[in-house]
Amino acid sequence: MRSSWLRPPRRYAAAVLVSALALTTVAACGTSSSGGGDNSGGGGSADASTPLDPKTKVTLTIDCMPPATKKPELKEWNEDVAAFNKKYPNVTIQGRSTPGQCEEPARFTAAIKAHSQPDVFYTYFTDLQQVLDNNGAEDISAYVTDKTVPALGDIDPNVLGVLKQDGKLYGLPTSNYRMGLLINRKLFTQAGLDPNNPPTTWDEVRTDAKAIAKLGNGIAGYGDYSAANTGGWHFTAAMYGLGGDVVSSDGTKAAFNDDLGKQIVDNLHAMRWDDNSMGQTQLLKWGDLQKQMATDKLGMFLAAPDDITYMVQQLNAKYENFGMGPIPGGKATLFGGNDYMIKKGSSPDKIKAAIAWLNFETLTPGKGTFDYSRRKADGLPVGLPQPAFLTGASKTKDDELKAASATMPVENFKVFMDNPVPGKSEPPKAQEIYKVLDNVMSGVLTNKNADPGKLLSDAEKQVNQVLANG
C-alpha cells in the first residue's frame, strides 16, 4: 500500500525533471542570434546626414575581426577599438572572428538566408544581389556624406558603383584588387628572363613559360585554375585583358564564344599540351597555385596583389621573390574586393555608429588599417599595390605614407603600378557563369583532344540558360 501512493509522485517528479532536462537540451541545441533587435540607447540626431553624436549609446556586432592566431592584426584591431571609443565612449564594438577566410560562400549564404549576419557584415563586391534578394542590408545612401566619410569624394566611383543598386548605396569598401600577372622573380632570373619586364601579351607569356619549364625539376612556367569556380573567374579575367567580355552589355547573352575566347582556350591548350609548360597537375583552385609558386615550382599566374601576402604569411615565402606586371592584353582588368554592409532593420543610431567605425578603420589615410607605420612596427607587410579604391588627394597621401613605411621592395610592382589597366567589374550571376566556364578550363587543361570550339559553344548554351532564368 505504501509504495502505491509513493510511486506516482516519484514518477511525476522524474517526469518533470526529465522534461526540464530535455527542454534544456533542445534549447541548447538551438542557435542564438543577435536578431534584428536594437539595443541603441538613443541620444543621436534624427538627421541621417550628420555624423554620429558622441553621446550615442549603441552596441555593434562586426565580423572579420582578426582571429587570435593573427596576433599583430588582433592587437591593432583592439587598439583601434580603444581609439574609436575615446571619441565615441558609448559605442560598444563586439568583434567576431571567423575561421579561414572572412567570407566563405556556404557559410555566408546560410547566414544571409537565416538573417543571422552581424550588424555590420563583410561581403564581396559580387554579393550585393544575393544580399538584396534576401532583404539583408540597409540603404545607407542618406547616411554616407562627406561629413560622415570625409574621403567619400576620393573613393573610385567604379568601386562605389558596384555597391549601389537603383542609385542606392548598400556598402562601403574596405579593400579591392585589380588582377595582374604575378611572377616568380627567382625562376625568371634562373631561366635567363628579365624579372623587371614581365610579359604583357599572351604570346610573351607562352614564350617565357616555355623557357621557365625548361628548368625541369617539376617546374611549370604558367599555371591556371580549373575548379571550384575559380577557373571561370580566371577565364573571365583573361577575356577582359584582351578587351572581350563574358556577357553581352545588356546582360542577356553569353559573349565569350568568339575569336577572343577561342584565342584564350587555344593558347592554354598549346601551353599545356604542345609546350608542356603548365605542369601535369590540374583541377587546381585558389590556394593551389600559391603553394606551387611559394615553393619555386611555378613561374607565373594571374593573381591579385594580396596573393603575395598569403604566400608570405601562410607559406613562408619572401616578398623579394615576387613581382607583378599588368594583365596580358592590358585592355581591361577584372577588379573585385570586399566591403561592409549594415544589416537590414538596424536603427539610425546603429547605422551612424557603423559608418563612423568604418570611416575610422578603413577609409581614413593614416588611421586604422591605413596606419602603415604601426603595421611596419608590428611586422606586417606594407607596400602592396592594394587596396586601390582611393583617388585624388587621399591616394596621394596614402601612397606617401605607404612608401615611407614600405617593408618590401615596391619596385618589384613598378610595372604593374606604372601601367594601370582600367578596372572592370565581374559579370552578373558571376558564380553561376564561373561554374560553367570551369568546364571550359578543366576541359582544355585535362583533355589533350578537347575541342575548344565545342567547349565554348556548350558553355555558351549553358550560360544563356543561366541568364535566361533571371
Partner 1 sequence: MSAPTLATNEAQQRPGQLGSSRAKNSREGFARALRRNLSAHAFLIGAVLCFAFFSWFPMVREFILAFQKTKGGQTTWAGWSNLTYIFNDPAFWQAWRNTLLFTGLALVFGFAVPFLVAVTLNEFRHGQGYLRMLVYLPVMLPPVASVLLFKYFYDPGYGLFNRVLQILHLPQQQWLQDTHTAMLSVVIAATWMNMGGATLIYLAALQGIPGELYEAAELDGAGLLRKIWHVTIPQTRLILSLMLLMQIIATMQVFTEPFLLTGGEGPEGSTTTVVYLIYQYAFYFNNYGSAAALGLVLLVLLAGFSAAYVRLSRSSED
If you search the block for the grid coordinates 569598401, which residue do you land on? 173
Identify the DSSP state of 32. P
Binding to partner 1 by residue 420, rule CB under 8 A?
no
Dist. CA 440–CA 239, nearest whole Å: 13
Binding to partner 1 by residue 33, rule CB under 8 A?
no
Question: In terms of CB distance, is 120 or 459 closer to partner 1?
Answer: 459
Dist. CA 406–CA 413, nearest whole Å: 12
Task: Calculate helix-pair angle for 230-241, 430-446, nearest 10 degrees.
Answer: 90
Applying the rule CB under 8 A, the residues between 444 and 463 that interact with partner 1 are: 446-447, 455, 458, 461-462
Dist. CA 271–CA 279, nearest whole Å: 9
Number of residues that bind partner 1 (CB under 8 A): 55
Helices assigned H by DSSP within 198-258: 202-213, 230-241
Concatenating the DSSP letter of every residue in 431-461 gives HHHHHHHHHHHHHHHH-TT--HHHHHHHHHH
Given a contact cutoff of 8 angstroms between Cβ atoms, the answer to whether 177 and 335 are in contact is yes
Among residues 6, 12, 377, 403, which is the contact residue for partner 1, using CB under 8 A? 12
Binding to partner 1 by residue 285, rule CB under 8 A?
yes
Among residues 55, 113, 147, 318, which is the contact residue for partner 1, using CB under 8 A? 113
CB of 423 to partner 1, least distance (A): 24
Binding to partner 1 by residue 29, rule CB under 8 A?
yes
Dist. CA 272–CA 446, nearest whole Å: 9
Binding to partner 1 by residue 106, rule CB under 8 A?
yes
CB of 120 to partner 1, least distance (A): 19
- CB proximity list for 161: less than 8 A, separation 6 or greater: 425
CB of 38 to partner 1, least distance (A): 19
Question: In terms of CB distance, is 379 or 470 closer to partner 1?
Answer: 470
Binding to partner 1 by residue 75, rule CB under 8 A?
no
Applying the rule CB under 8 A, the residues between 218 and 257 that interact with partner 1 are: 218, 226-229
- The residues binding partner 1 (CB under 8 A) are 8, 11-12, 14-16, 18-19, 21-23, 25-26, 29-30, 105-106, 109-110, 112-113, 130, 132-136, 218, 226-229, 279-283, 285, 344, 429, 431-432, 435, 438-439, 442-443, 446-447, 455, 458, 461-462, 465, 469
